[in-house]
Amino acid sequence: MQLHTTALIVFCFFFLLVTLAGFWAARWRRPKAGMGSLEEWGLAGRSFGTWITWFLIGGDLYTAYTVIAVPAALYGAGAMGFFAVPYAVIAYPYMMLVLPRLWTVCHRHGYITFADFVNGRYGNRWLTIAIALTGVLALMPYIALQLVGIRVVIGAMGIHGEWPLAAAFVILAAYTYSSGLRAPAVIAIVKDVMLYIMVLAALIYIPHKLGGYARVFEIANQLLAHHTPSATINLKQGQFLGYSTLAIGSAIALMLYPHTATAVLSAQSANVIRRNAAMLPAYSFLLGLIALLGYLALAAGVVTKDPNQAVPLLFLKMFPEWFAGFCLAAVAIGALVPAAIMSIAASNLFTRNLYGALIRRKMLPEEESRMAKIVSLVVKFGALIFVLKLPAPYAIEMQLLGGIWMGQLFPSVVLGVFTRWFNPWALLIGWAAGMFSGTAMAVALGLKSSVYPLHLFGSTYPMYAAVPALLLNLAVSTALTILFRAMKLNAGTDVTDAAAYIG
């Protein structure tokens, strides 16, 4: 592949800029006592106001792989790939209803993770470990996908080999270790400004060059008809249920991911969360525009066997090389923010809810902070090995499982915010049933898709596997709670403050 020197120089300039910003973040709002506690290193002292939280959550949810994968889905599969837009629309009313209350409880009790909340709410060590383990397992391929996004961008500029990705990993690891959550918060501001410039330029300039949107959609529809399997820019008969359950199930999982919890719990008040739920739909609008890049790539004549290459190749083909470098830098920087937050979230879970739960003693703040920093390095190193030693489809396939797994936390976390009716042992068994059935459905599809053809009463219902798995989870949790209540089985102890749930 041709080496794009100008694009590479511009890319390196902006990458260096955000690297310096990441290290500078260690001094930004640094408390006099330093960052010797998990609350300061992992949640930035819960000090972020509305705008910083907005950039942080947006940078957390709209990742480099979002910019690569959502257009790639439309490039390869047509309208079915557009499900990411309605699920973002569903997610924010859900966020408004659930997360401010969760923030209040976690703030009042000093909880760092949602698994901390489950432990306080139900007093069951094994349920807490299950919640934490699910989060860590789901995050690993997600972090790997951010590195895949960086590799796709670097490869499009003509740079090959493992060293560029390894160098990006070392930089990411270094400033996350020193600055904690403050680093991605600072970088998120730069990343989002660059992303908006990139998308708006692409959606105005490229269609103009191609003859307008009507022409773009016409060409995209014609080309999709020749794909295997064939696709269109409109949903086909039989895709509606799969599309809607993908949107609903993904929205449920999105707000339960540990990196979402980390970004949310770093806010300074519950009202900051409410204001962000109202403001974040601006990112949904941006996501809809990003998705259209897949159709633009088709109309522009971008031909690639790997749909993930569609957006980088589109930029290099349609833009002057210097601006293509700017756009590719925006995509790569978009990987740094979520990768940093995800590694912090995974280290918080391991330190507090896996290691902490197993040793059965409360660690000192300095011990927690020190361990979390080391674990964050291990997590990123593991993700790097995953990307370098295994084919990229493995990370994508594992991420399909991650979304299914995260949905199974809904009864314990989301319903737990509103009711203490469920028995923790019933929730644990329901979680296991949901995890097993959801994984079995994805494996039955060869991990190539997450839309499973469910056969019921002589009919077939293609559904996102997370949804029937969650329904089974809820049914088992409900039935066993009724049974365990009748048996007067120990229901654990709720140590959370009842007043925190009011309002």
The predicted pLDDT at position 128 comes to: 94
**Each residue's pLDDT tens digit, 87-128:** 777 888 888 889 999 999 999 998 999 999 999 999 899 999
Provide DSSP, 415-435: HHHH---S-HHHHHHHHHHHH
**Each residue's pLDDT tens digit, 3-28:** 888 888 888 898 888 888 877 876 76
Rg for the chain (alpha carbons), in Å? 22
Provide DSSP, 352-371: IIIIHHHHTSPPPHHHHHHH
**Each residue's pLDDT tens digit, 326-382:** 988 888 888 888 888 888 898 999 888 888 777 666 777 777 888 888 888 888 888
SS3 259: helix
In a domain, residue 412? The reply is: no
- Comparing 175 with 246, the larger pLDDT belongs to 246
Question: What's the one-letter identity of residue 470?
Answer: L
Count of domains observed in the chain: 1
Q: With bands split at pLDDT 50, 70 and 90, how would you rate the model's confidence at 42? A: confident
**Each residue's pLDDT tens digit, 246-289:** 888 888 888 899 988 898 999 999 999 999 888 888 777 777 78
For the chain, the average pLDDT equals 84
Q: Contact at 8 Å (CB) between 235 and 79?
A: yes
SS3 345: helix
The predicted pLDDT at position 67 comes to: 79
In a domain, residue 470? The reply is: no
Q: How many residues does the chain have?
A: 503
In a domain, residue 182? The reply is: yes
Q: With bands split at pLDDT 50, 70 and 90, how would you rate the model's confidence at 65? A: low
* 462, β-bridge pairs: 453
Q: Say if residue 427's pLDDT is above 90.
A: yes
Handedness of CA 66, 68, 69, 70 (dihedral sign): positive
SS3 161: coil
Q: With bands split at pLDDT 50, 70 and 90, how would you rate the model's confidence at 1? A: low
Q: With bands split at pLDDT 50, 70 and 90, how would you rate the model's confidence at 391? A: low
DSSP state of 168: H
Q: Say if residue 50's pLDDT is above 90.
A: no
The angle, 0 to 180 degrees and rounded to 10, between the axes of the packed helices 424-444 and 466-486 is 150
In a domain, residue 31? The reply is: no
Handedness of CA 296, 302, 307, 311 (dihedral sign): negative
In a domain, residue 34? The reply is: no
In a domain, residue 66? The reply is: yes
Highest mean pLDDT among 7-21, 166-180, 383-397: 7-21
The predicted pLDDT at position 246 comes to: 85
% of the chain beyond a pLDDT of 90: 22
Mean pLDDT lowest among 156-170, 183-197, 383-397, 448-462: 383-397
Q: Say if residue 32's pLDDT is above 80.
A: no
SS3 235: coil
**CATH value at residue 352:** 1.20.1730.10
The predicted pLDDT at position 121 comes to: 94
In a domain, residue 139? The reply is: yes
Q: Say if residue 197's pLDDT is above 70.
A: yes
Q: Say if residue 323's pLDDT is above 80.
A: yes
Q: Which of 232, 231, 247, 263 is CA-nearest to residue 91?
A: 247
Q: Say if residue 503's pLDDT is above 70.
A: no
Structural domain boundaries, residue 226? 51-392
What's the rounded Cα separation, in Å, for the pair 183 and 190?
11
Helix, strand, coil share (%) of the chain residues, nearest 5: 75, 5, 20
Q: Say if residue 66's pLDDT is above 80.
A: no
- Comparing 247 with 388, the larger pLDDT belongs to 247
What's the rounded Cα separation, in Å, for the pair 118 and 485?
19
**Each residue's pLDDT tens digit, 433-473:** 999 999 999 888 887 778 888 888 878 888 889 999 999 99
Question: What's the one-letter identity of residue 322?
Answer: W
In a domain, residue 419? The reply is: no
